[in-house]
């Protein structure tokens, strides 16, 4: 099979060029054609030698992900559903804001962490995405939007990427890092480190590795002020409890492009939203709780986007405001995420795609019965809600 050039960061592409008997600097030209110009056709890469173009046509490709659907919200949010084969699909969401354009990117089909409040988690884990499949989401969105918006050469549609789509990025580390490097590379998308955010449910050893390999902005999904509650909401907490997680956050900061960690906190009615829990959170991050380490941070409160199978409900607006006020009163910058794109079901934590459900269900059913199903219902109800704006 042809090599997918989206799988390579610039260093990887240079090594591949060398292995093909080409000079390393050819990789820069090629990389710029692919990522800056959005070109997938080697024949159109006019400044490459004909012999190289012929070699590329014979052995390589820029493999875009097939688009299953593109939905647009009245507020400008765009959601793509990409086919990643084998009955799996992943979602990518573009959120336009006045001063920037944010792309929310998926790292896995499904997720193995299985958080109680997350519909991706409820769906289970299918597989890791390859680097090229992570990058293809940005490649497609950037160049499609650029064309649509009629942007001049050098102008960008997307200047902020958050790894907050489907999946736990730090459980797909090997594929993630080259994808991040391509996003940051001046010959690639040229994004600032401060504007590429990895969101994690707390894979402690990989937080340390990220600090070494590719320090970008870090968001940590906290959701609870104590281990007992966090164990039940984010099962990974049993392996990496809060004290170790906060210590990893503190170790990350000296290498980070920002001088704070963003803590995400999904507001669940009657579960994690009391005044007492807000005070416990303040103690936790200021080193007075069981973790004994102070972590400079901001809080991003996410009103829960409900889905039936969760058995959970969203905290009332006044509760979220009161909770935020306690954190703010303690001097912690706290934002409440705005809901975006609710007319297209692009909700935070609900990214799973009904097509995915149908195709998965179809396959499973067929495997079980050894017949081809004719009518297949959605395996899992997808709840309503909006994608979060102001992600970090
Ligand atoms: N796996 C990573 C990144 C993807 S989830 C993580 O957990 O951080 C992105 C964010 O959406 C996380 O903060 C997650 O907690 C939040 N989220 C998940 N399900 C949600 C839901 N139903 N409502 C609101 N936020 C949700
Ligand atoms: Fe996975 Fe993040 Fe969803 Fe938890 S919240 S199940 S880690 S995608």
SS3 111: coil
Q: What is the pLDDT of residue 254?
A: 97
Contacts of 236 (CB under 8 A, 6+ apart): 113, 168, 201, 202, 203
Q: Which residue has the higher pLDDT, 41 or 99?
A: 41
pLDDT for 302 beyond 70: yes
Task: Indicate if 38 and 159 belong to the same structural domain.
Answer: no
Beta bridge partners of 163: 198
Say if ligand 2 is within 6 A of residue 115 CB. yes
Say if ligand 2 is within 6 A of residue 135 CB. no
Q: Does residue 31 come out as left (phi exceeding 0), alpha (psi in the -120 to 50 range) or beta? A: alpha
pLDDT for 380 beyond 60: no
Percentage of the chain with pLDDT > 70?
A: 86
Task: Indicate if 174 and 298 belong to the same structural domain.
Answer: yes
Section 353-365 average pLDDT: 42
Q: What is the pLDDT of residue 289?
A: 81
pLDDT for 379 beyond 70: no
Task: Indicate if 168 and 100 belong to the same structural domain.
Answer: yes
Whether residue 386 is contained in a domain is answered as: no
Q: How many domains does one find in the chain?
A: 2
Q: Which protein residue's CA is at the shortest distance from atom 18 of ligand 1? A: 349
- pLDDT-based confidence at residue 350 (cuts at 50, 70, 90): low
Whether residue 179 is contained in a domain is answered as: yes
Q: Determine which helix (DSSP H) or strand (DSSP E) holds 50, and give its type and residue range.
A: helix 50-59
For the record, the structure tokens of 86 come out as: 């084998």
Whether residue 282 is contained in a domain is answered as: yes
Q: Find the CATH number of the domain harbouring 167.
A: 3.20.20.70
Q: Which residue has the higher pLDDT, 123 or 356?
A: 123
Task: Indicate if 53 and 75 belong to the same structural domain.
Answer: no
- Domain boundary residue, one of 61, 91, 107: 61
Q: Find the CATH number of the domain harbouring 33.
A: 1.10.150.530
Which of 145-159, 184-198, 279-293, 335-349 is the least confident region? 335-349
pLDDT for 390 beyond 50: no
Whether residue 30 is contained in a domain is answered as: yes
Q: What is the pLDDT of residue 347?
A: 58
Closest C-alpha to 282, from 297, 270, 269, 272: 297
Substitution site in 91, 107, 112, 120 for ligand 2 pocket (most atoms within 8 Å of beta carbon):
120
Could you give the CA distance from residue 363 to residue 223 in angstroms, rounded to a whole number?
Answer: 34
Catalytic member of 118, 214, 297, 348 = 348
Q: What is the pLDDT of residue 337?
A: 87
- pLDDT-based confidence at residue 371 (cuts at 50, 70, 90): very low
276 counts as catalytic = no
Task: Indicate if 356 and 253 belong to the same structural domain.
Answer: yes
- Domain boundary residue, one of 27, 43, 61: 61
Whether residue 392 is contained in a domain is answered as: no
Q: Which protein residue's CA is at the shortest distance from atom 9 of ligand 1? A: 164
Task: Indicate if 52 and 184 belong to the same structural domain.
Answer: no
Task: Indicate if 270 and 347 belong to the same structural domain.
Answer: yes
- pLDDT-based confidence at residue 11 (cuts at 50, 70, 90): very high
Task: Indicate if 210 and 75 belong to the same structural domain.
Answer: yes
Q: Are 281 and 327 in contact (CB under 8 A)?
A: yes
Q: What is the pLDDT of residues 89-106, one digit of tens each?
A: 999 999 998 889 999 999
Q: What is the pLDDT of residues 72-85, one digit of tens each?
A: 999 899 999 999 99
Residue 164 alpha carbon to ligand 1 centre in Å: 7
Considering every ligand atom shown, identify the ligand nearest to the alpha carbon of residue 198 and give its number.
1
Could you give the CA distance from residue 30 to residue 18 in angstroms, rounded to a whole number?
Answer: 13
Q: Are 380 and 119 in contact (CB under 8 A)?
A: yes
Q: Which protein residue's CA is at the shortest distance from atom 8 of ligand 2? A: 167
Residue 9 alpha carbon to ligand 2 centre in Å: 26
Q: Which atom of ligand 2 has the smallest separation from the CA of 118?
A: 3
Q: What is the pLDDT of residue 307?
A: 87
Catalytic member of 91, 133, 142, 168 = 91
Q: Which protein residue's CA is at the shortest distance from atom 15 of ligand 1? A: 221
Q: What is the pLDDT of residue 354?
A: 45
Contacts of 46 (CB under 8 A, 6+ apart): none
Say if ligand 2 is within 6 A of residue 118 CB. yes
Whether residue 324 is contained in a domain is answered as: yes
Q: Which atom of ligand 1 has the smallest separation from the CA of 303?
A: 24
Task: Indicate if 172 and 314 belong to the same structural domain.
Answer: yes
Whether residue 138 is contained in a domain is answered as: yes
Q: What is the pLDDT of residue 338?
A: 78
Q: What is the pLDDT of residue 153?
A: 79
Task: Indicate if 246 and 196 belong to the same structural domain.
Answer: yes
Task: Indicate if 133 and 21 belong to the same structural domain.
Answer: no
Q: Are 31 and 185 in contact (CB under 8 A)?
A: yes
Could you give the CA distance from residue 41 to residue 331 in angstroms, rounded to a whole number?
Answer: 53
- Domain boundary residue, one of 61, 80, 99: 61
pLDDT for 388 beyond 70: no
Whether residue 330 is contained in a domain is answered as: yes
Task: Indicate if 246 and 273 belong to the same structural domain.
Answer: yes
Residue 228 lies in domain? 67-381
Q: Are 176 and 169 in contact (CB under 8 A)?
A: yes
Q: What is the pLDDT of residue 348?
A: 58
Q: What is the pLDDT of residue 345?
A: 64
39 counts as catalytic = no
Say if ligand 2 is within 6 A of residue 121 CB. yes
């Amino acid at each position: 099979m042809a090599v997918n050039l989206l799988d390579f960061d610039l260093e990887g592409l240079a090594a591949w060029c060398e292995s093909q008997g080409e000079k390393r600097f050819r990789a820069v030209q090629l990389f710029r054609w692919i990522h800056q110009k959005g070109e997938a056709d080697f024949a159109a890469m006019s400044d490459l030698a004909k012999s190289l173009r012929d070699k590329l046509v014979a052995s390589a490709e820029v493999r875009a992900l097939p688009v299953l659907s593109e939905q647009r919200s009245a507020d400008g949010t765009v959601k793509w559903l990409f086919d990643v084969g084998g009955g799996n699909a992943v979602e990518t969401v573009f959120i336009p804001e006045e001063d920037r354009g944010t792309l929310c990117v998926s790292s896995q089909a499904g997720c193995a962490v299985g958080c109680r409040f997350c519909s991706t988690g409820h769906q289970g884990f299918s597989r890791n995405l390859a680097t090229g499949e992570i990058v293809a989401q940005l490649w497609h969105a950037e160049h499609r939007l650029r064309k649509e918006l009629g942007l001049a050469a050098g102008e960008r549609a997307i200047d902020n990427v958050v790894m907050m789509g489907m999946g736990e990025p730090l459980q797909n580390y090997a594929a993630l890092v080259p994808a991040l490097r391509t996003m940051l590379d001046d010959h690639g998308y040229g994004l600032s480190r401060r504007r590429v955010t990895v969101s994690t449910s707390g894979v402690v050893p990989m937080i340390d590795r990220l600090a070494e390999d590719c320090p970008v902005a870090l968001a940590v999904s906290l959701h609870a002020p104590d281990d007992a509650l966090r164990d039940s909401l984010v099962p990974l907490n049993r392996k990496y409890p809060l004290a170790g997680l906060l210590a990893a956050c503190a170790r990350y900061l000296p290498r980070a492009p920002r001088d704070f960690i963003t803590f995400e906190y999904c507001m669940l009615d009657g579960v994690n939203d009391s005044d007492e829990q807000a005070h416990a959170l303040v103690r936790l991050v200021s080193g007075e709780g069981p973790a004994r380490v102070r972590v400079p941070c901001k809080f991003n409160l996410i009103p829960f986007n409900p889905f039936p199978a969760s058995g959970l409900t969203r905290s009332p607006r006044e509760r979220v405001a009161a909770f935020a006020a306690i954190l703010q009163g303690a001097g912690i910058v706290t934002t409440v995420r705005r809901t975006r794109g609710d007319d297209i079901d692009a909700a935070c934590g609900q990214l799973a795609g009904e097509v995915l459900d149908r195709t998965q269900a179809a396959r499973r059913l067929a495997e079980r019965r050894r017949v081809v199903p004719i009518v297949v219902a959605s395996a899992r109800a997808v709840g309503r809600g909006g994608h979060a704006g102001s992600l970090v």
